[in-house]
Copies of this chain bind each other. A is one copy, B any other.
Amino acid sequence: MTYCVGLHLREGLVLLSDTRTNAGVDNISVFSKMQVEEVPGERVLAVLSAGNLAVTQAVWNRLQEGVQLDGTRQTLRSVPNMFRAAQLVGQAVRDVYAADGPALKAQGIGFDISLMLGGQIAGEAPRLFLIYAAGNFIEATADTPFLQIGEHKYGKPILDRVVKHDTPVADGVKLVLISMDSTLRSNLTVGMPIDLLVYRADSLSVTLRKRITEENAYFRSIREGWSAALRQAYLEMPRPDWVP
């Protein structure tokens, strides 16, 4: 599996993905699940993916080669806005399904992928989308300013409680790392290193792109600090004095 989380904040976007892929428990590899297209001054788009690696890589390859949309071959570098970019990713998913779906089905393999697309194209605000295996999509809004794909449950309680649209970007980075840590701690199919992308609104260039390894001092402080803080919070909750 995979865990990817994206925050759609007033100050910009924070995207985080793990890198573990596995075909059975004895075949584990590191693959980045975050692909970035950048035309400084004009656009930054990032695609995060979860699910069957052959399928998600096929989607990415098609996106780079160009996908038919509105009667012409387009890429993430040519689409005029983020809505068209989300449609393009969805169309790439549908094209892969048309090409590979029957053969996958014949082998009993589901077409279970999902993607996240975040970024900004000059002329509109940053946007963040979740694209389903059917090629349709939803968009994060100020009401629910985060999206997740893959193993999303372990890391959701902290997001549900804390993230707001006006959370500062730096706090958002802290938050997605805590959310990722909870997932890493409880699920073996999500693994280090992790890829972080920070995009400040209207900068139209990548603010920060960073691979975080086990040795990263900040992430270690989060891991150790968060575990200690959870244990401490648990200790400080009142004890049920009504239990005989």
Binding site for B on A (CB under 8 A): 151, 153-154, 156-158, 160-162, 169-171, 173-175, 177-178, 182, 185-187, 198, 200, 207-208, 218, 221-222, 225-227, 229-234, 236-244
Q: Is the CB of A243 within 8 A of B169?
A: yes
Residue of B nearest to A222 (CB): B237
Q: Is the CB of B237 within 8 A of A233?
A: no
Residue of B nearest to A233 (CB): B229
Which 4 residue pairs are nearest across A and B when measured between Cβ atoms? A153-B153, A229-B233, A157-B182, A170-B243
Shortest A228–chain B CB gap in Å is: 9
Residues of B contacting A226 in the complex (Cβ-Cβ under 8 angstroms): 233, 237
Shortest A106–chain B CB gap in Å is: 21
Most buried by B among A174, A208, A231, A241: A174
Residues of B contacting A234 in the complex (Cβ-Cβ under 8 angstroms): 158, 162, 174-175, 178
Q: Is the CB of B153 within 8 A of A230?
A: no
Residues of B contacting A174 in the complex (Cβ-Cβ under 8 angstroms): 234, 237-240
Q: Is the CB of B230 within 8 A of A161?
A: yes
Q: Is the CB of A244 within 8 A of B178?
A: no
Q: Is the CB of A218 within 8 A of B233?
A: no
Residue of B nearest to A172 (CB): B243
CA–CA, A198 to B242, complex, Å?
Answer: 11
